[in-house]
Structure 1
Amino acid sequence: MSFSLDVLTYGEAMALFVADEPGPLAQVNRFTKRIAGADLNVAIGLARLGFKVGWMSRVGDDSFGRYVLDTLAKEGIDAGRVSVDGRYPTGFQLKSKQDDGRDPAVEYFRRGSAASHLSIDDYSPEYALAARHLHLTGVAPAISASSHELAFHLAREMREAGKSISFDPNLRPTLWPSREAMVTSLNRLATLADWVLPGLEEGTVLTGFTKPEDIAACYLDAGARGVVVKLGARGAYYRTAEYSGYAAAAPVAQVVDTVGAGDGFAVGVISALLEGRALPEAVARGNRIGALAVQVIGDSEGFPTRGELDRIERIAAPA
């Protein structure tokens, strides 16, 4: 097969309108258009680091859909399995501006979107199995029953083919019919992954445990090769069957926008693991990119290029 990818992911991209001024969204008059979507954020971050990334999705035949396609081209992401579906619109969202480091308010307009109609019909074994790694989040399987089916089909096919899989729960409770359905489905999906990357609060919701050590042990017992629990300003906890430890958070001068930090963390971990680096090094990189993400406005604008990351890691390397 002549075509190959380093990483495949899939999901929904939306136009994002970020408030130019703080305050309730209803009172904001000016917004800046950007792009959003947890899965796409990771694709963007990995592509900037030089990986060949493919992204599966559907967009509407509208200006937002064209904006998504233009962004994919600009970032160097392969869009060979992105369909333009003229029956349904591309979703969008609004995000508030916070000056105090708090999480911004976000309002979604995605019900019935083109991406919500993703299904197994969008799966191409020739395309998917040409990738060596699959990254999944808990967002795409939540947007519809057909997308949920696609997530599990992708994971099973890639696992059977011997590909590696990472999974970030990225909980979106409002997209699920119930909390129980969310917990059951995402824990099932986690059992198909090699690397599970929950936040501490997410891990507590999904496993019932409150300590990162217990959350990690739960997923290791379920079959994961490694688990990394994100601890925010406290860094991250990592564990495999052989070793475990904590990685300190990278310094942050000022928190500007918290959205995208977890996706940046995933970019760091996945990129380092695909380069054959040890898990502690991967977690340290995840912390660095997550720290970069929160210091600028936008979900992926703070993600570094390969040259920028190399400079940061040279400075951070012990003498």
Structure 2
Amino acid sequence: MTDFLSFGEIMLRLRTNGYERFFQSPSFEATFGGGEANVAVSLSNYGLDAGFISALPDNDIGQNAVNSLRALGVDTSNILRQGERVGIYYLETGANQRPSKVIYDRAASSICEAKVGDFNWPEIFKGAKWLHITGITPALSQDSADLSLECVKEAQKAGLTTSCDFNFRGKLWKYGKTAPEVMKDLVKHIDVGIANEEDCQKSLGISVDVDVESGSGHLDLSKYEELSQKVLDIYPGMSTIAITLRAAVNANINGWSACMRDRKAGFLSSKKYQLTDIVDRVGGGDSFASAFIAGLHLYEDRQQSLEFAVAGSALKHSILGDFNRVNRKEVEALMGGDGSGRVQR
């Protein structure tokens, strides 16, 4: 019995060394990661009871993926051991004006081949409080889309709060459906939405005229205020929408902040962090989602919830790998203004 659950895929992450291009040298750094797994890890690091729902093959690679989660306190008892392969993604880390690049190798992975009826949802959700899902898993295959919809419907039926990071991944929607065709139905069953402007537009077909001057690091907050209202107007069952604001100057320098609209608290915006010398931005959105979920649980004040989410995800940009390896105390220290980076002795 686990309080906070996330459903999706954990992958083998193969990253080039340093800032090398693909196959510049004949080796990759091998770790594990994936949007929904990253959320479960962060929730556990914040001291919450977190579990991950997925499917992995019963082989050494699948077992090491499970072990990577167990080592960080995530409950893995709801990972089915079936199928033949672990999904893979290859990462080339960008620098300055050269962007990072991701190549997916996820076809026929265990979660892609999982079907409606494979999971015993009433048993999995017994005693749980929260389910998190993303727009990534429904993009993998028709079976994955059907399974994702079944998951959120069953979670609602069991009385869980549901959250979804709309995460648009254009490279994944290849099985004949567009993202809005699938996501519009899924999001009807979501209580807390998490997104950026592109996610709202490309996953849900909801947009406003956001004027971002390329390379300036400037964002017009009023446009996101309008966007957040549009989302809640279209989805009356959703109580809260949070939107991350990444003002990218280049691959190494980003402005990072967020805003949210809550039906009770109204529209709120966060402190802005200037991120320089970014170590690894992959997983930055996942780290925001997890810290936002944690913040909603840890604080009654919605402004505090938002600030916790932005601070936690700002710290993630200093950490190599998909997983955000920070704890609540460290995030609260940054929230309180301790961002000097001085050595702690």
TM over 0.5: yes
> In the alignment, is residue 230 of structure 1 matched against residue 244 of structure 2?
yes
- How far residue 316 of structure 1 moved from its aligned partner, in angstroms, is 5.7
Q: What letter matches 2:230 in structure 1?
A: C
Q: CA deviation digits over 1:226-270, x for unaligned, max 9?
A: 111111125112112341122122343421221111001011110
Give the Cα–Cα distance (whole angstroms) in 2 for the partners of residues 101 and 13 of structure 1: 30
**Match of 2:281?**
258
Q: How does 1:1-319 map to 2 (within 5 A)?
A: 4-85=1-82, 87-100=83-96, 103-120=99-116, 121-177=118-174, 181-205=178-202, 206=204, 207-210=206-209, 211-221=223-233, 222-223=235-236, 224-232=238-246, 233-242=255-264, 243-300=266-323, 302-315=324-337
Q: Tell me, yes or no, if the aligned pair for 1:129 and 1:158 is still in contact at 8 Å.
A: no
Give the Cα–Cα distance (whole angstroms) in 2 for the partners of residues 22 and 154 of structure 1: 39
Change (3 A) 1:27 1:15: same
- How far residue 196 of structure 1 moved from its aligned partner, in angstroms, is 0.7
TM-score in terms of structure 1 length: 0.90
**Match of 2:250?**
none
1:23 counterpart SS class: coil
Change (3 A) 1:315 1:209: closer
Q: CA deviation digits over 1:116-145, x for unaligned, max 9?
A: 122231233122232100111011122222
Q: Tell me, yes or no, if the aligned pair for 1:176 and 1:182 is still in contact at 8 Å.
A: yes
Q: What letter matches 1:256 in structure 2?
A: V
Percent identity over the alignment is: 24
- How far residue 14 of structure 1 moved from its aligned partner, in angstroms, is 0.8
Select the structure that is richer in helix: 1
TM-score in terms of structure 2 length: 0.84
2:100 counterpart SS class: coil
Q: Tell me, yes or no, if the aligned pair for 2:16 and 2:23 is still in contact at 8 Å.
A: no
- How far residue 40 of structure 1 moved from its aligned partner, in angstroms, is 0.2
How many residues get paired?
Answer: 312
Q: What letter matches 2:242 in structure 1?
A: V
Unmatched tracts of structure 2, length 5 or more? 210-222, 247-254, 340-345
Q: Tell me, yes or no, if the aligned pair for 2:162 and 2:190 is still in contact at 8 Å.
A: yes
Change (3 A) 1:148 1:178: closer
- How far residue 18 of structure 1 moved from its aligned partner, in angstroms, is 1.3
Give the Cα–Cα distance (whole angstroms) in 2 for the partners of residues 81 and 183 of structure 1: 29
Q: What letter matches 2:327 in structure 1?
A: T
Unmatched tracts of structure 1, length 5 or more? none
Give the Cα–Cα distance (whole angstroms) in 2 for the partners of residues 123 and 276 of structure 1: 32
Give the Cα–Cα distance (whole angstroms) in 1 for the partners of residues 268 and 331 of structure 2: 23
Give the Cα–Cα distance (whole angstroms) in 1 for the partners of residues 333 and 170 of structure 2: 38
Change (3 A) 1:310 1:217: closer
